[in-house]
Amino acid sequence: MAQGFFLLFAAVSVITALMLVLARNPVHSALALMACFLQISAIFVLLDAPLLAVIQIFVYVGAIMVLFLFVIMMIDVREAVAERFLPGGNLPAMALLVLLGVEMMVLVFWSDRFSLSEPVASRGGDQIRDLSTTLFADYLLPFEVASVILLAALVGAIVLARKETG
């Protein structure tokens, strides 16, 4: 059952990712990426991480993709539709990508750490409570640093996108 759901979500996410890379129109790419993120959040549900699935939908589909669509709306994307790929020989990049994929797959099959088919014994209990306790107790400093980074990004984005006056 879980295997069937995993194969379904994985297949759809790979197809939509390919659509993202191959689509001519950036709007189609954005919609394909949105569908891909929804599939990935379904995979997070399969992995017993419902909180992450909800965060994924809120942040990626709700915020980041809407930001992308707003920018696509603001700027004229028609001129960039004609040529999809970089001009000239893309052979080195393709070779690099194939090498990367083959290398990672070989390493995954080589090592026996990945052959685990069942999760190790779970502690049980309230998962989200434990998660948030760990996040706000052991990882409080990284959390605060992340909030400062978000604030800096907010200010930086406003300054960069503002029209120059005078």
Partner 1 sequence: MVPLWWYIALGVVLFVIGAAGVLLRRNILVVLMSLELLLNSVNINFIAFGHYYDDFRGQIFAIFVIAITAAEVAVALGILVALVRNKSTLKVDDVTMMKG
Binding positions for partner 1, 40-79, rule CB under 8 A: 40, 43-44, 46-49, 51-52, 55-56, 59-60, 63-64, 67-68, 71-72, 74-75, 77, 79
Kindly identify the residues of this chain, within the stretch 88-147, that bind partner 1 according to CB under 8 A.
Answer: 90, 93-94, 96-97, 100-101, 104-105, 108-109, 114-123, 130-131, 134-135, 139, 142, 146
Selected binder of partner 1 within 8, 54, 73, 152 (CB under 8 A):
152
Which CA distances in Å does 125 have to 7, 85, 129? 29, 50, 9
| Separation CA 14–CA 36 (nearest Å) | 8
User: Two tokens at 53?
Assistant: 């699935």
| Closest distance of CB 151 from partner 1, Å | 9
Query: Residue 39, SS3?
Result: helix
Q: Which CB atom, from 85 or from 165, has the smaller least distance to partner 1?
A: 85
Crossing angle (nearest 10°) for helices 26-46 and 2-22: 160
